[in-house]
C-alpha cells in the first residue's frame, strides 16, 4: 500500500447503518509465503498446475471432516444479522468484509461443486467456479478476517466465519498460496521453539537480565527459571513476553506471583511459546504438532501443573484443544492421555490460566497487595476475542470475564467499564488477531481497530481512563502500534499482570 495509512474518523452514531464502499479493500493482500516456507510445513511451494483440483479436493475432505463447515455452508439464510457486526466491515465499509459475504466467497464455490442447484442453476443460487480471480478474492478477504467469532455470537445458527476462514486458509495452503507471516512463524516454532525465533541461550540471557532488573526494583531474589526439572509448574507464555513492551511487564508480574506464593515454576526452552499459529491457518496437523511441544516439555520436566500466560488465541488452544490434541487436561481414558494425566496433579485445572492462578491466590489471601500503587492509573479492560468467545476461566460460564476484572479490582482502585455491546462476549477484536499482525496489513489493522477506539475514547474522555488492560500478546502488540493513529499514547495498553506487578508487595508477610 503506497497510500499513507490514516485512521477513519470516529462515528457520531455507531448504531446507524453505514454506506457500502465495494472494492475498498480488494487490493490489500498480505505477502505470499515463498516456496521454502511452504515446503517446511508440507505444502506445495506455489500455485502450480493442479492447484484447482487440489483446492476442490481439500474442500471436499474438510466438508467430510468438520461438521461445522458442512452445516455452516448449508444453513445460512442470508438474513444479514451478522453483516454489520464485524470490526473490519465497520472500519473499511467494504461489503466483502461483512461476515456473511466473506462466507459466501466460499459458499458460492461450495454450491457450484457440491450441491445440485449450484450445478444446475449457478446464477440463481449465487454459485461460482473457483477461478484464479475468485482465489485472489479469497486471498484478499480471508486474510482480512481475524477469526474473532464476533459474528457467530449474533448468528441465529451460530455460524462462525472464523471456521470458514480457517478452512479457506487451509485450502489455499494446499493449493500453494500461503500467507508469509503465519507460515514463516510456524516454521520458526518447529525449528527454534518459538514464534520470535529466540534460541535457548538467548532466552536464558534474557531471563537472567530480568532477574537483575527485578532485584534492583524490589530488592528480592525473584527467579525466572528455565528448564528446571522437578518444578511444580510449567509456565507456557507467548514469546513476546520475553522482551516486547509492554508484554515483559506481565512476565515480571507472573514471576512475582509465583515468588510470593512460594510456587516452584519453570519455563521451557523446548516449549518457549504459548502461541499456536496452526489455529490461524486451520490446519489440524500444524495445530497438533505445535501443541505437542508442550506435552513433551511437561513430560520431560516432570511438572505437576501447566499454566498459560497472557495470550488470547493460545488460551483458546490450551483450554479448548490441548486435551484433544495432546492429552493436557483430564478425563482421558486412552494410554496416550493417561500417560500425561497421571503425572499432572488432578486437584488443579489442567491447563490453568495465569489469571485463574493469581485470582485463586488473591481469594485465599496469599498475596500482599497495595492497590494505591496503581493510583496513577484509571483502568479499563479489553476482552480479547479468543478468551471471551472461545474459552472459559473458573468453574462457571463467563468466568473469563469476571476473573480478570476481579484481579484488576483487587490491585487497582480506579476501574471503568467500556460501553455495553463492546465488552464481554460482544467485545470488538483489537484488529490484529488471526495472523494479521503484519506491517503490510497495517491499513486494515488501523481501520479494524475503529470500534474499540470509539469505545475507549468514550471512557477516556468521560472518565479519564488512561490504561487499557488486556490479556493477549497480539492485542498488546496491535494496540501499541495503532493507538497513536487515534491520538492515544501507545503506553496506554498493558497486561493485567502488569497491574499485579505494580501492586504486589514481596518479602516476608507482615
Partner 1 sequence: MGAPMSIAFALLFYAAFLVLVLGTGYRIATYIRTPAPLKIPTTPAPTTRGGVALRLGREVLFFESLFKANLWLWAAGWLFHVGLALVLLRHLRYFTEPVWGWVAWLQPFGVYAGFAMAAGLAGLWMRRIFVARVRYISTPSDHLMLVLLLAIALTGLGMKYVAHTDIVGVKRFFLGLMYFDWQPLPADPVLYAHLVLVALLMLIFPISKLLHAPGVFFSPSRNQVDDPREHRHVAPWAAGLDPKV
CB atoms within 10 A of CB 366: 15
Q: Which is nearer to ligand HEM, 117 or 398 (CB)?
A: 117
Q: How many residues bind ligand SF4 (CB under 6 A)?
A: 27
- Does residue 79 touch ligand HEM according to CB under 6 A? yes
Contacts of 219 (CB under 8 A, 6+ apart): 507
Contacts of 297 (CB under 8 A, 6+ apart): 234, 236, 268, 270, 271
Question: Which one, of 220, 497, 249, 466, lies nearest residue 362 by Cα?
Answer: 497
Site for ligand HEM in 149-188 (CB under 6 A): 156
- Does residue 425 touch ligand SF4 according to CB under 6 A? no
Give me the least distance between CB of 155 and ligand HEM, in Å please: 9
CB atoms within 10 A of CB 334: 8
Question: Which one, of 391, 401, 422, 392, lies nearest residue 150 by Cα?
Answer: 422
Q: Which is nearer to ligand HEM, 47 or 153 (CB)?
A: 153
Question: Which one, of 11, 138, 135, lies nearest residue 84 by Cα?
Answer: 11
Tell me how far apart the alpha carbons of residues 205 and 454 are, in angstroms, rounded to a whole number: 41
Site for ligand HEM in 97-156 (CB under 6 A): 156
Give me the least distance between CB of 334 and partner 1, in Å please: 7
Question: Which one, of 150, 90, 98, lies nearest residue 384 by Cα?
Answer: 150
Binds ligand SF4 by CB under 6 A, chosen from 73, 92, 102, 316 = 102
Q: Which is nearer to ligand SF4, 159 or 355 (CB)?
A: 159
CA angle 62, 72, 19 (to 5 degrees): 120
Site for ligand SF4 in 429-458 (CB under 6 A): 429
Tell me how far apart the alpha carbons of residues 463 and 467 are, in angstroms, rounded to a whole number: 11
Q: Which is nearer to ligand SF4, 76 or 198 (CB)?
A: 76
- Which of ligand HEM, partner 1, ligand SF4, none does residue 86 bind (CB under 5 to 8 Å by kind)? ligand SF4
Binds ligand SF4 by CB under 6 A, chosen from 69, 148, 168, 468 = 148
- Which of ligand SF4, ligand HEM, partner 1, none does residue 102 bind (CB under 5 to 8 Å by kind)? ligand SF4
Contacting range for ligand SF4; rule: CB under 6 A; set: 107-115, 158-166, 205-213, 413-421:
158-166
- Does residue 75 touch ligand HEM according to CB under 6 A? no
Q: Which is nearer to ligand SF4, 166 or 340 (CB)?
A: 166
Spatial strand order of the sheet with 467-470 comes to 379-381, 467-470, 493-495
Q: Which is nearer to partner 1, 433 or 494 (CB)?
A: 433
Give me the least distance between CB of 25 and ligand SF4, in Å please: 12
Q: Which is nearer to partner 1, 269 or 350 (CB)?
A: 350
Give me the least distance between CB of 427 and partner 1, in Å please: 12
- Does residue 99 touch ligand SF4 according to CB under 6 A? yes
Binds ligand HEM by CB under 6 A, chosen from 1, 21, 75, 77 = 77
Beta strands in 45-115 (DSSP E): none
HEC-encoded secondary structure of 445-510: HHHHCHHHHHHHHHHHHHHCCCEEEECCHHHHHHHHHHHHHHCCCHHHEEEHHHHHHHHECCCCCC
Tell me how far apart the alpha carbons of residues 93 and 96 are, in angstroms, rounded to a whole number: 9
**Three cell numbers at 358?**
493469581
The residues pairing with 504 across neighbouring beta strands, listed in sequence order, are 369
Contacting range for ligand SF4; rule: CB under 6 A; set: 80-88, 299-307, 353-361, 397-405:
80-88
- Does residue 88 touch ligand SF4 according to CB under 6 A? yes
Q: Which residue has the cell 468521560?
A: 462
List residues binding ligand HEM (CB under 6 A). 77, 79, 156
Site for ligand SF4, rule CB under 6 A: 76-82, 85-86, 88, 99-100, 102, 145-151, 155, 157, 159, 161-162, 165, 429
Amino acid at each position: 500500500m503506497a497510500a499513507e495509512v490514516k485512521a477513519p474518523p470516529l462515528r457520531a452514531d455507531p448504531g446507524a447503518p453505514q454506506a457500502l464502499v465495494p472494492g475498498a479493500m480488494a487490493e490489500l493482500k498480505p505477502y505470499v509465503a515463498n516456496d521454502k516456507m511452504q515446503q517446511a510445513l508440507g505444502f506445495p511451494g506455489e500455485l502450480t498446475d493442479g492447484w484447482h483440483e487440489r483446492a476442490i479436493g481439500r474442500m471436499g475432505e474438510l466438508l467430510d471432516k468438520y461438521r461445522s463447515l458442512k452445516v455452516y455452508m448449508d444453513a445460512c439464510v442470508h438474513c444479514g444479522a451478522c453483516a454489520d457486526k464485524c470490526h473490519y466491515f465497520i472500519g473499511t465499509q467494504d461489503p466483502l468484509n461483512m461476515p456473511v459475504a466473506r462466507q459466501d466467497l466460499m459458499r458460492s464455490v461450495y454450491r457450484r461443486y457440491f450441491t445440485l442447484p449450484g450445478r444446475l442453476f449457478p446464477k440463481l443460487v449465487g454459485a461460482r467456479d473457483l477461478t484464479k480471480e475468485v482465489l485472489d478474492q479469497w486471498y484478499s478477504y480471508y486474510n482480512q478476517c481475524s477469526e474473532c467469532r464476533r459474528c457467530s455470537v449474533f448468528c441465529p445458527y451460530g455460524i462462525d466465519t472464523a471456521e470458514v476462514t480457517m478452512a479457506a486458509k487451509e485450502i489455499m495452503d494446499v493449493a500453494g498460496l500461503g500467507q508469509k507471516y503465519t507460515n514463516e512463524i510456524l516454521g520458526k516454532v518447529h525449528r527454534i521453539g518459538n514464534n520470535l525465533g529466540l534460541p535457548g541461550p538467548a532466552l536464558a540471557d534474557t531471563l537472567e537480565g530480568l532477574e537483575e532488573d527485578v532485584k534492583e526494583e524490589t530488592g528480592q531474589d525473584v527467579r525466572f527459571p528455565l528448564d528446571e526439572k522437578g518444578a511444580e509448574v510449567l509456565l507456557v507464555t507467548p514469546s513476546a513476553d520475553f522482551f516486547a513492551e509492554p508484554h515483559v511487564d506481565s512476565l515480571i508480574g507472573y514471576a512475582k506471583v509465583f515468588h510470593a506464593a512460594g510456587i516452584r515454576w519453570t519455563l521451557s526452552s523446548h516449549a518457549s511459546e504459548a502461541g499456536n499459529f496452526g489455529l490461524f491457518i486451520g490446519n489440524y496437523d500444524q495445530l497438533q504438532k505445535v501443541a505437542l511441544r508442550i506435552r513433551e516439555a511437561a513430560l520431560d520436566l516432570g511438572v505437576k501443573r501447566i499454566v498459560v500466560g497472557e495470550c488470547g488465541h493460545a488460551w483458546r488452544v490450551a483450554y479448548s484443544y490441548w486435551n484433544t490434541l495432546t492429552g493436557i487436561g483430564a478425563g482421558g481414558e486412552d494410554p496416550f492421555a493417561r500417560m500425561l494425566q497421571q503425572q499432572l496433579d488432578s486437584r488443579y485445572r489442567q491447563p490453568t490460566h495465569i489469571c485463574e492462578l493469581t485470582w485463586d491466590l488473591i481469594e485465599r489471601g496469599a498475596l500482599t497487595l497495595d492497590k494505591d500503587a496503581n493510583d496513577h492509573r484509571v483502568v479499563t479492560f479489553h476482552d480479547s476475542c479468543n478468551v471471551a468467545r472461545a474459552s472459559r476461566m473458573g468453574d462457571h460460564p463467563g468466568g473469563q470475564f469476571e476473573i480478570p476484572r476481579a484481579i484488576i479490582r483487587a490491585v487497582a482502585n480506579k476501574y471503568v467499564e467500556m460501553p455495553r455491546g463492546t465488552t464481554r462476549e460482544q467485545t470488538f477484536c483489537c484488529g490484529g488477531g488471526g495472523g494479521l499482525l503484519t506491517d503490510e496489513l497495517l491499513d486494515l489493522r488501523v481501520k479494524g481497530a475503529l470500534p474499540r477506539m470509539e469505545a475507549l475514547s468514550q471512557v477516556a474522555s468521560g472518565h479519564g481512563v488512561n490504561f487499557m488492560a488486556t490479556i493477549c500478546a497480539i492485542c498488546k502488540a496491535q494496540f501499541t502500534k495503532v493507538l497513536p493513529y487515534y491520538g492515544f499514547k501507545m503506553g496506554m495498553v498493558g497486561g493485567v499482570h502488569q497491574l499485579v506487578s505494580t501492586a504486589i508487595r514481596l518479602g516476608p508477610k507482615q
